[in-house]
Amino acid sequence: MPGFTGCGATITFGTTSFSGKYREIGELMQDREVVDSTTLDRATGSFAINIPGDNPSPGQIRCRIRWEGATAPITFAAAETITITLPKETSASTNAATVAGTGYVVSRRLLPNLQRNQLNEGEFVIQFNGGTGPAYTLES
């Protein structure tokens, strides 16, 4: 079934022209700090009390690519708009779901792990900066 696997997903960068042969575009996990609000009058052995932190983290995405010797590695650049397009689940849909926001590359693999009987792969991590999104747009 279309859209039930990652086959056909894409990622584009608004400023840099990097275009890799993607093997994996990792999930986007977002988290929020937990603030311990337990007071000293709380009985020993009772559960601690907490409240949600003020601002959730916009998250990071780890991407894995097939290494291409004729393609320059992704660069560390200023924040730019990054758009991930998911495969469409319904062929009648006009637009696939997307996740888009501003972010930048925080780490990259500049040289693949070279060994016999293994695919040469690169990897990089995108950090969304929270300036714009990341926002999820439904398939339509």
116-135 confidence digits (pLDDT tens): 999 999 999 999 999 998 99
83-99 confidence digits (pLDDT tens): 999 999 998 999 999 99
What share of the chain in percent tops pLDDT 70? 98
pLDDT value at position 47?
96
CATH number, residue 19: 2.30.110
31 located within any domain: yes
CA angle 26, 79, 113 (to 5 degrees): 45
Alpha-carbon gap, residue 95 to 85, rounded angstroms: 9
How far is the CA of 17 from the CAs of 20, 41, 72, 82, 113, in angstroms? Answer: 10, 58, 10, 11, 24
**This model's pTM is above 0.95:** no
3 located within any domain: no
Average confidence score pLDDT of the chain: 94
37 located within any domain: yes
- Report CA Rg, the chain: 20
1 located within any domain: no
Domain count, the chain: 1
